[in-house]
Amino acid sequence: MTLRTSREVMAWQPPTGWRELSGEQRHAYLERHGIRIPLRPADWEEMDHDQRMAYLGWSSRAMSDTPEARAAKEREYRKDLRAWNVLMGWWILCLLVGLGIIWGTGALSEGIGLRIGVTLFAGVGYTMAIFIPMLISRPSPPRT
């Protein structure tokens, strides 16, 4: 059974449990039932851009969204999140060391006002230069 047009292909419903099948099992199922999903359906030229993108997204999800691929994405996310946490921890440690030098030593013995000023400057500077960009760049979990 060769599905020729994009409507025929996208109307085909994968069987129950399709998400749990590996890539090899999916290809074996399609072989066994004689189903061929074309890269470019017969009506490719008549499709507009949005329809083409919808078709490519559908075929990608149907064939590539395997448990192995999802596990690999999850491992990559965990690795990126761990690295992000370590980097954020180092930035916080550097800030605390700097504040410890200011408040714990006699480095700024001129007065409490100067210490408070330097502390506010360091806090605002770190927030604008480090914390906000780091929060924006935090890895997001993979979509399932």
Residue type, 134: M
Place of tokens 């085909």: 12
60: left (phi over 0), alpha (psi -120 to 50) or beta: alpha
Does the pTM surpass 0.75? The reply is no
Average pLDDT over residues 60-64: 80
Q: d(Cα 123, Cα 19) in Å, to the nearest integer?
A: 48
pLDDT in tens, 12-35: 788 888 888 888 888 888 888 887
SS3 for 102?
Answer: helix
Strand partners, 36: 2
Average pLDDT over residues 134-142: 89
- Give the pLDDT of residue 77: 95
Q: d(Cα 14, Cα 53) in Å, to the nearest integer?
A: 20
The dihedrals phi and psi of 36, each to the nearest 5 degrees, come to: -120, 125
Q: Is 41 exposed, middle or buried (0-12, 13-18, 19+ CB in 10 A)?
A: buried
